[in-house]
Amino acid sequence: MEAVIKSVKIAGMQAAVPPHRHSYVETPEIFTQEEADKIYASTGIHSRRILPPHLCASDMCIAAAQVLLQRLNWSPESVDVLIYVSQDADYALPATACLIQNRLGLPTSSACLDVSLGCSGFVYGTWIASQLLNSSNGKRALVLCGDTSSRHLLPEDRGTLPLFGDAGVATALEYDENWPDSYAIFGTDGTGGQHIAVKAGGRRNPTMPELTPRSEEEEKQLYNDSRLYLNGAAVFSFTLKVVPQLVKDTLRLANLMVDELDMVVMHQANQFILEHLRKKSKIQGDKYLIDMKDFGNTSSASVPLAICHKLQHFFDNQTKKVMLGGFGVGWSWGAIITDIGPIVSPEIIEIEDDFEPLSLVQQ
């Protein structure tokens, strides 16, 4: 699907990560030094940030949003749209976006909703929020992307353990009738759903207690199904098949050549995949951001997190034309070409362990 986004600009970004680092390099009981060196050379990931169990992805997003609103000098009452993009909701219901509206102090007239997408979620969330602003009297939106992917991992799964980290990011969008058009392409192929999956926890395979106790074998199976399954070979094949075409199609829609882009920021899956995509799409290395060393794969947060980490001053004084893209779980993919800047410098903060979560008991 093709989309032209009119009159909406990115006004700012802010990321929040836990202070707690974990590196497979420092776990000799799991990986030898030789194995660790090979993992780093392939993935580009050295360490990840891990959120304490009493906090949720929404807490990181709220911490980021609070700082971003202050830096933009936006009052919470001025925000008309909130999109929460995450595969880690606070509760089965209500929607986490409703709770975030209350915690951030957004007006009751705001439109708030959850989007359950992973790797492509930032692009989808930006498009959805932009369209809501365009079709309403709204002027400002927040797109919050966050996941606690580390909680889906089996402790002994050597294939996924080094890869995934936790992060939350807030992106501010603002309606501006004089802003240049942005261009986006989206796609979905549900036949790939089996290749990146957590099989238990939904209604197909619930984890809720039953009146009749489960057997030990059933409990073990449920435990395993509640963790992430990742078919790395299938992910690699899908990515090389779909993403170069995604880049080409988005450039065609925007009527641009790849050399006219100032920067390309794709979902930070792993270094090996991203390098193959760069070469296949013929993108110059200095215009292509790879940044996973300190955070790993953070799912829906990875694109804006990389911007906050490595492009802090890239948008300070000039408007830059960038391509932002996501691809993965679903299969789902999307890319957007948009102008960004000048904006306040994107930043990363660390969320404290005593950050106050809001439980339903406190409602």
Beta bridge pairs of residue 84:
114, 144
- 295 φ/ψ angles, rounded to the nearest 5 degrees: -135, -20
Quick: pLDDT tens for 200-229.
Answer: 999 998 888 888 888 889 888 888 889 999
Instruction: For residue 357, name the pLDDT band (cuts at 50, 70, 90).
Output: low
Residue 359 has pLDDT above 70, yes or no: no
Where in the sequence is the domain holding 281, given as residue range(s)? 2-190+229-357
Q: Judge residue 7's burial from the number of C-beta atoms within 10 Å of its C-beta, 0-12 exposed, 13-18 middle, 19 or more buried.
A: middle
Contact 175, 140 (CB under 8 A): yes
Task: Give domain status of residue 207, yes or no.
Answer: no
Quickly count: other Cβ atoms within 10 Å of residue 226's Cβ. Answer: 16
Task: Quote the pLDDT of residue 339.
Answer: 98
Average of pLDDT values for 8-12?
98
pLDDT for res 358: 53
Q: Is residue 222 part of a domain?
A: no
In a domain, 195, yes or no: no
- Mean pLDDT for 44-53 is 95
Q: Give a yes or no: residue 206 inside a domain.
A: no
One-letter identity of residue 58: S
In a domain, 105, yes or no: yes
How far is residue 147's CA from residue 17's CA, in Å, rounded to a whole number? Answer: 11
pLDDT for position 218 = 86
What tokens appear for 257 in the block? 């050549």
User: In degrees, to the nearest 5, what angle opens at C-alpha 88 toward C-alphas 165 and 263?
Assistant: 55
How many domains are there within the chain?
A: 1
Q: Which of 268, 326, 265, 281 is nearest to 127 (CA)?
A: 326
- Average pLDDT in the 20-31 region? 82
Does residue 164 belong to any structural domain of this protein? yes
CATH number, position 23: 3.40.47.10
- Beta-carbon contacts of residue 354 (< 8 Å; ≥ 6 apart): none
Domain annotation covers residue 362: no
Asked, for residue 196, whether it belongs to a domain, the answer is no
The model's pLDDT over 229-279, given as tens digits with 9 standing for 90+, comes to: 999 999 999 999 999 999 999 999 999 999 999 999 999 999 999 999 999
Phi-psi region of 174 (alpha: psi -120 to 50; beta: other; left: phi over 0): beta
pTM of the model: 0.95
The string of pLDDT tens digits covering residues 89-139 is: 999 999 999 999 999 999 999 999 999 999 999 999 999 999 999 999 999
Q: Which residues pair with 253 in a beta bridge?
A: none
The token duo for 291 is 């940044």
